[in-house]
Amino acid sequence: MDKFIPLAKPNILDKDIALVVEVLKSGMLVQGKYVSELEKTFTDLLSAKHASALSNGTATLHLALKALDIKAGDEVIVPAFSYMATANVVELVGAKPVFVDIDIKTFNIDITKIEAAITSKTKAIIPVHEFGLACDIEAIMSIAKKHKLFVIEDAACALGAKYNNKHVGTFGEFGSFSLHPRKAISSGEGGVLITNNNSYDKKIKLLRNHGTEIIDGKMDFTEFGFNYRITDFQAALVVSQMDRLQKSIEYKNELALIYNKELDQKKLQLPFTPFYTSHTWQTYHVIVDPSVNRDELIIKLKESNIGVNYGAQCMPFMQSFKQKYNYDCEKLFPNALLAYKHGLALPIYDLVTKEQIKYITTTLNKILS
Ligand SMILES: Cc1ncc(COP(=O)(O)O)c(C=O)c1O
């Protein structure tokens, strides 16, 4: 294969570009009709009451914590394995992220370890639907109910994923989605925050726009807010792509089946999909046997024109958290550390062909044999 296969590539069609150009020519670049249309496509798809389109998926998590008034002195439970945004936002509101190890088969939070992490300071859980696979959200909702905790679902990678036929992002107080280019639908940068609660929704829409309200016909500012607005041309880019989300998920499932069938499992642990969910395959993530040098494998695959990388971080193992808390990650979060040190994300997206997937499996099997 003489052409490089990138790890990810967004699928932007001419019709998407035409709609963006239309918005650019209109002169209405921020908070125009496509922001509202984007929010409606999300509420329709997810059968949710409210959606707020924001500047990125980190902003959605941040505002969810702000709206729930989570602050210094509070603790928030997060999985130890995710993208850093999940835990960074907790630090940024002054609260403490309390890490819980993951289940190494699903890469999602280990629900059997959550209750031991709850203290009198715990206010919320942020479960992640990692790599597009729903976590055991009903079990998490029962724990949250028992201990009176809020749930913010980090569904950054999981648009379209369902748990027992109900869309993820609609179980907790909030559901947070990212529109970054490595996600199924992208606006470049962007995010959507879902809630079924009217007063939370009002608060989010104020916080994203510096607390701006019209009072007695005059603009006033009723909250200390942010500028977390998305532009209208980014929103148009998303609106134009939404009609092919389902097809994209189906295609990625076909690609995943080829990986599942063709990859030699002697030195690779393949992803597992529990009965209660279907996978949306934002990432096809395997664990490479620790006897193999994963980083050398990444280099060898790149030399064979295959773009791969590790999948996500063991967050407490990263410098920012190490310096502050100095956790013994090997002891406390062995699965998150294993997934971080030996995980490998393989290409899976609309623009990669089945022939390319077969080339990847043959090449990987050969290197590992
Ligand atoms: C699990 C998870 N949470 C949050 C985010 C943050 O989203 P964004 O990059 O849009 O800020 C990401 C982004 O990759 C993610 O993977």
How do residues 42-97 score in pLDDT, each as one tens digit? 999 999 999 999 999 999 999 999 999 999 999 999 999 999 999 999 999 999 99
165 and 110 both lie in a single domain? yes
Q: Is 299 a domain residue?
A: yes
Average pLDDT of the chain to the nearest whole number: 97
215 and 68 both lie in a single domain? yes
- The residues, any chain, with a CB within 8 Å of residue 264's CB and separated by 6 or more, are 364, 365, 368, 369
Q: Is 4 a domain residue?
A: no
Q: What is the pLDDT of residue 278?
A: 85
Q: What is the pLDDT of residue 260?
A: 98
| Residue entry with tokens 């069609």 | 13
The number of the ligand 1 atom at minimal distance from the alpha carbon of 189 is 10
Which of 7, 52, 54, 58 has the most ligand 1 atoms within 8 A of CB, as the residue to mutate?
58
Which of 56, 63, 84, 180 has the most ligand 1 atoms within 8 A of CB, as the residue to mutate?
180
180 and 249 both lie in a single domain? no
* Reported pTM: 0.97
192 and 280 both lie in a single domain? no
100 and 171 both lie in a single domain? yes
| Number of independent structural domains in the chain | 2
203 and 320 both lie in a single domain? no
Measured distance CA(282)–CA(311) in Å, rounded = 11
- The residues, any chain, with a CB within 8 Å of residue 10's CB and separated by 6 or more, are 181, 186, 349
- Residues with a CB atom less than 6 Å from ligand 1: 56-58, 82-83, 85-86, 128, 154, 156-157, 178, 180, 191
216 and 227 both lie in a single domain? yes
Q: What is the pLDDT of residue 31?
A: 81
* Below-70 pLDDT ranges, the chain: none
Q: Is 68 a domain residue?
A: yes
